[in-house]
Amino acid sequence: MPSLDDLPPYRRAKLMWEFAHFGEHGVEQMVREQAGQPCHLSGVPKPSSPRVAVLGKDGRFHLMSDGLMLCAKGRTEQGWEHRQICSWTETDEGLAEGYRAGGTHGSVERIWFVQATAEAVPLASLPPAQRCHSDNYTVTMHYWPPPPARTAVVRRLRAALVEALGPDCHLCGALPGAMVDHDYATGKVRGLLCKLCNRTVEECPHVQGCPKADYMSNPPAADLALSYPPYLAHEPKASVRAHKIELLGFDPLAPWRPARPDASA
- How much is the pLDDT for 261? 47
264 has a pLDDT exceeding 50: no
Range 170-176 average pLDDT: 92
The per-residue pLDDT for range 93-135, each reduced to its tens digit, is 888 887 777 788 888 888 999 999 887 887 876 888 888 888 7
- How much is the pLDDT for 138? 65
Measured in residues, the chain has a length of: 265
The model's pTM: 0.80
Q: What angle do CA 62, 44, 140 make, to 5 degrees?
A: 30
What are the extents of the domains in the chain? 1-46+142-257, 52-135
Range 78-91 average pLDDT: 89
Q: Which amino acid makes up residue 172?
A: C
Check if the beta carbon of residue 161 is closer than 8 Å to that of residue 177.
Answer: yes
HEC-encoded secondary structure of the chain: CCCHHHCCHHHHHHHHHHCHHHHHHHHHHHHHHCCCCCCCCCCCCCCCCCCEEEEECCCCEEEEECCEECCCCEEECCEEEEEEEEEEEEECCEEEECCCCCCEEEEEEEEEEECEEEEEECHHHCCHHHECCCCCHHHHHHHCCCCCCCCHHHHHHHHHHHHHHCCECCCCCCCECCEEEECCCCCEEEEEECHHHHHHHHHCCCCCCCHHHHHHHCCCCHHHCCECCHHHCCCCCHHHHHHHHHHHCCCCCHHHCCCCCCCCC
The per-residue pLDDT for range 217-243, each reduced to its tens digit, is 999 999 999 999 988 888 889 999 999
Check if the beta carbon of residue 190 is closer than 8 Å to that of residue 179.
Answer: no
The per-residue pLDDT for range 180-219, each reduced to its tens digit, is 999 988 999 999 999 999 999 999 999 988 999 999 999 9
- How much is the pLDDT for 169? 94
